[in-house]
A and B are shown apart, each in its own frame.
Chain A
């Protein structure tokens, strides 16, 4: 293979080890055009917008990658984003143009695989550089069967999604092996159902229960698409039983947890009524902490209402006011739905507010040991400002245990 000059780094994909690919420099003198070595690809959106680019990563399953196209504005942390199960069903656009600069490392995986449908970047690093790196991003994508498109005007795409809301799209190579026509792509984009009305949680939750952590507390975590950094946090003070999303309240309580954690996950919370029913039974019986989808499920269990946001929140730089501390936290965010604060006003108080748009970002249930946040205190990627929320869970469990003990006495 001629590795000389693919701007966006397919060549790196052919180099599964971490060795630098440096037989590069003079190939361009050998005559054939740089452009001819790029496999053109296109992304077509459901509104008909076409974005030119080039193929990267794996060949799309079924020839075309399609899904709801969303964006993330984090400057680093692409691997964490790609492995976050919350992106199931979606095509992720990174707004930062250079992606893959520091490679990938097993330690940065947030789950067992990649659940997104595809990735859109402006530029995939041809060569990565970082002592932690074990594999380049191109190879990582291939290994996980993930297709991508590079060379896209991702800013134009982001502006489009921002203005019209999350929009289905489809992409594939448009020349060479596996080429698709723009018409085929348009048809795929139009046929793509998006994430509404689909139980994406069922696609990403664990099939079997498993146990992590070795701390003294006992926690049950309901896996709606849980990120491994969350388990790391909980595992510091608890032994965590991770149960499938379909676990019933009885199954959970049978494990005698000191706390139940409701995880993040993909999609619309109204598609997981079984989880809402479960949580309804748990509230008041055991301390609860929810994140993201878990936060929305808790709100639904309290009788609250969920609204779809015009653009959603997709970055690692959102200011959130902790109304109890009066301090601002810079948070990692990834959600299109939010809790309507009015709808829970009688049963819970709002503890966190997004300062950009006033969206409810956290709640504490009145008189009951349960709280949740919309953003991601586990960060990964993103700032550690909200990590204290995990300590709060420990305190909540300790207090509950103390109260129970006191009650018994």
Chain B
């Protein structure tokens, strides 16, 4: 069936900001879909609030709306654009839910928009647990046995049928209170009674417990002709009980026989048919009882998912692209397989390697969390590794994580596991945590048997035995006498085939990594690169998609053009996410357009950079010294010139390698400039030379030194380790007690030592903290002939001290004077010149009472590059990459890649999105340590409206005055500003509540406070507060609709902590700075007067270009 010609334009909804459970895999899927649909000649309209994505680059859609993803906004977009169809399945749960809302609100009917890819009934069937289960029972698939009981007697009858163990869930109970697991009849009787008592309607659901079962996933594609294929099968190493997003997963399935697998495959197809997934990709999850092989279907996602991204990267089959084409009417057999070119897409990829995914968590950022994995996803990113065998693949994945592990233990990072007592270890391997894999390896090292570990962990014995093979080899290496030089070729080969890094061998045998590498090469064991080709070499493939292994032959075929290697940013984590992938992908596009062969190196399966057609060649590899050197060797071995390596666009991951890679190959700013910016003394000297003021400060490698610095500069002080991204372990301290505690935490290495590496060479920085200052970020690029172009000046909405990644910021600055902005630009130019930057640079400033202080400079692309590019219409990452490869701005202007200084007539606000709802119990206070996972952008004709849009986009509902009270609790220094915000809100009709002190100040300013709020835990003997409720109680009652609570500085757990935590739990808008409160109030006011209007980026950029005197402002016209 050919593509549909009755539709011309298609609306795609993206997944919005990166949050836990919904990360850049939907940028991958959305980008592929945009490209695929435009390739077919459709007009593509894209809605996504996330500026860091590649898909929201204006060249990827015909109309790109970076607007809040709400029903009202989507309605406006539909009203403006009148799309013929809506494709809801490529933007994660967000897009699916929003599409359902549009259906239910009648918007699609009203404007005649057809839902393609999945219809509303199908979505409802798949999404509703009960509907889904009924549907599966109807088609005869195995589901979990369960029953409902209202009395203990009934419950005993039910459990008789189901069999133990069971889970007991009381009906109508939020948050799982009364839920229990029973393994014996006695336990069950007790748990059933408890559950019945807990349920207000005396009803419990009794469901068989499948904790410890094996977990599997199948990625299925279906077309309108009912052709169905399995793209990839996945086996979870972690048993049922750990969310699949938090599980270590392996492709393909390892421990199912073909008869079992085929039954599962049939079941997946039957499931899609019954649910009614018309076309596209779906993910179906199964659990299998290990002792009987009984299969039950757990759930399905009728859309492209995180697993689809993994499956695409694991097999080379572009699921999202094909899903988009199927949605417009093609059938699988009509779409050619990109990789073989000769065969159709209606086949099932087979692979001849093993893929391992390991999630990456950020528990260290959220004190108070247990680190225990469960049924709710908590990881923030993931790595994938490809090896010929599971041992090789899992070891590569371990070193891709960038947590200090150079493999599956066998390095310094294993010490913490070696330090565990047997009893602790025995408990630990039974609980899913980020450390379990390494703990299992340690247990194997201690000689525990596979059977014992299986009993403890329920990790399948096959996996345990494979891990044991790795551990045995490490024991052998440790026993090896005669040093690294004496390892023979077969010994090296076997070691490398089991995935050991040179660094691991050096650690285990003794010696340096360099010596290990030299010995290995001398023994003739060189890296080979195999190809990912979807067909296990059955057909010839020209796919430029490679992974390293140690085999007989290498398949890399470099061309003759000059080549540039771009190092990606590794796993998503807080502080280093999709923004850097955006930069790397843009670099690849720009350099390819300029005639270079581009080579991408990355290990993150969620990204656009790891699509095999983003660059001329993709190496899916860990970003470590050894792995990058191996790629350099492979790439240097052919005719075309290897021009160099870009290390400054992927965040800290590649930048850390700048020092150790061949210096002549590092493009752009040299490693010495990177060090000069990082080294405290050099940096201070540089600022002094340029006469640029810095906050007073010093460096310390001990608590005494830190105290000495503070003696000189005074409190409050900001302490932070050098060479760390995302403000890891940054803290503002107000007294000696605080300082000592912070220093103790820093020097105890702990989690910090795993990431950044704290040492005498990398001391702690101690600076005077400029209270009440405005923070400003400047992004710029400098070329090889010394010209600096300012990309954007961003004024933070939050005050200095909040990590820039967590702070809202606005372009152009909304309160800074022109003079101040000029000073900021001048300083930036001077610093870039002094550091001899060639490429991107980001400089952070604090402006206190009109005086500009420089905080720090980073000669690399910053996290704000995509935001700046979207706000101004200038493709900064593209420009930076070209400059690093040697072009001048003059040349880029002549080409049209770089437009003139933009004249902005609109405001753009970037707001951070925080994951506190995933970590109940964690303080939702913003501080100098970054904790946001993603960002959104609001664009409008005033700063206030743009701010309100950014809040809407971040998921904050704008409450009406009649909904409840605005609660204020202000630090003394914030009271004047807070009163301004309160006045604005009161004028709009909002009613106020405040703590006693704040209430007094408001009262004094003539504002009526309707409710005085007690401090938390204050005994009612405090006369003024007697009988008054506290803020948490009010929020529990739903009476507060906006919370303005500014921090009071001290570290101890104060009222504010409870208030902010409760606000996060109840989803009440929470403003922690006066600046944000004012912007919010102004924006709400403006919103009252004008209706929220939507406008595409293309239209905004055209206006900018017109105002700046050029024709096009959206960057080069590139056909993607």
Contacts and interface: CB of A to CB of B under 8 A. Distances in A.
Interface in A41-55: 51-52
Interface in A118-171: 122-123, 125-132, 153-156, 158-159, 162-163
A123 B391 CA distance: 11
B465 A126 contact: yes
A328 B229 CA distance: 9
B474 to A, nearest CB: 9
B1117 interface: no
B460 A129 contact: yes
Given A29-B479, A131-B291, A132-B293, A73 B538 contact: yes
Interface in A201-257: none
A383 B265 contact: yes
A25 B471 contact: yes
Contacts of A126: 465, 469
A343 interface: no
B352 interface: yes
Interface in A1-58: 4-5, 7, 20, 22-29, 31, 33-35, 51-52
Interface stretch (A178-186, A277-285, A294-302, A310-318): A310-318
7 contacts: A5-B473, A28-B475, A34-B473, A125-B462, A328-B225, A384-B262, A384-B266
Interface string A371-388: 000000001111110000
A356 B347 contact: yes
Nearest to A29: B475
Contacts of A404: none
Nearest to B498: A7
A76 B253 contact: yes
A77 interface: yes
Contacts of B551: 153, 155-156
Contact of A330 (B293, B347, B535): B347
B1035 interface: no
Interface string B14-35: 0000000000000000000000
Given A77-B258, A155-B530, A20 B461 contact: yes
A188 B535 CA distance: 31
B490 A35 contact: yes
A98 B347 contact: no
Interface in B458-491: 460-462, 465, 468-469, 471-473, 475-476, 478-479, 488, 490-491
Contacts of A122: 352, 388-389
Contacts of B258: 74, 76-77, 80, 108, 380-382
Nearest to A95: B536
B1102 interface: no
A102 B257 contact: yes
B461 to A, nearest CB: 4
A390 interface: no
Given A75-B233, A319-B346, A327 B479 contact: no
A31 B462 contact: no
B488 to A, nearest CB: 7
With most chain B CB atoms within 10 A of its CB, the pick from A75, A96, A314, A357 is A75
Contacts of A80: 258
Contact of B451 (A20, A51, A71): A20
A321 interface: yes
Given A22-B449, A328-B227, A7 B469 contact: yes
Contact residues on B (Cβ < 8 Å of other chain), bracket:
35 or more
A20 B450 contact: yes
Interface string B344-362: 1011111111100000000
A106 interface: no
A34 B476 contact: yes
With most chain B CB atoms within 10 A of its CB, the pick from A20, A29, A80, A356 is A356
A407 interface: no
Nearest to B223: A328
Given A20-B451, A28-B473, A383-B262, 17 more contacts: A5-B476, A24-B450, A33-B491, A34-B494, A76-B257, A77-B258, A95-B538, A96-B351, A98-B390, A156-B551, A162-B538, A328-B227, A328-B332, A328-B346, A356-B347, A384-B265, A384-B266
Nearest to B343: A356
B332 A75 contact: no
Interface in B515-544: 530, 535-540
With most chain B CB atoms within 10 A of its CB, the pick from A105, A130, A155 is A155
Q: Is the interface of A mostly helix, strand, loop or mixed?
A: loop
A130 B229 contact: no
Given A7-B469, A382-B262, A131 B293 contact: yes
Contacts of A25: 444, 447-450, 468, 471-472
Contact of A97 (B349, B354, B465, B540): B354
B352 A34 contact: no
B1004 interface: no
B542 to A, nearest CB: 13
B290 A131 contact: yes
Given A129-B460, A155-B530, A327-B225, A321 B353 contact: no
A155 B352 contact: yes
B255 interface: yes
Interface in B251-266: 252-262, 265-266
B536 A73 contact: yes
A326 interface: yes
A4 B465 CA distance: 11
A132 B488 contact: no
A307 interface: no
Contacts of A155: 352, 388, 530, 536-537, 551
A75 B448 CA distance: 31
A31 B479 contact: yes
A108 B472 contact: no
A154 B352 contact: yes
B292 interface: yes
With most chain A CB atoms within 10 A of its CB, the pick from B293, B332, B353, B552 is B552
A247 B347 CA distance: 39
B342 interface: yes
Which 9 residue pairs are nearest across A and B when measured between Cβ atoms? A77-B258, A381-B258, A127-B465, A95-B536, A153-B552, A129-B462, A317-B348, A28-B472, A153-B551
Contacts of B388: 97, 122, 155
Contact of B350 (A52, A131, A317): A317
B422 interface: no
A33 B476 CA distance: 7
B553 A153 contact: yes
Contacts of A123: 389
Contacts of B225: 326-328
Nearest to A312: B538
A22 B451 contact: yes
A327 B346 CA distance: 10
B346 A355 contact: yes
B226 A327 contact: yes
A77 B259 CA distance: 8
A126 B233 CA distance: 23
Nearest to B452: A22
A321 B333 contact: yes
A101 B469 contact: no
B333 to A, nearest CB: 5
B476 A98 contact: no
Interface string A324-344: 001110100000000000000
Contacts of A77: 257-258
Interface string A80-115: 100000000000000111100110010110000000
Contact of B537 (A7, A51, A162, A384): A162
B462 A7 contact: no
A314 B389 contact: no
A229 to B, nearest CB: 9
Given A35-B494, A102-B257, A130-B256, A75 B538 contact: no
A317 B538 CA distance: 11
Contacts of B462: 101-102, 125, 127-129
Contacts of B349: 317
Contacts of A330: 229, 346-348
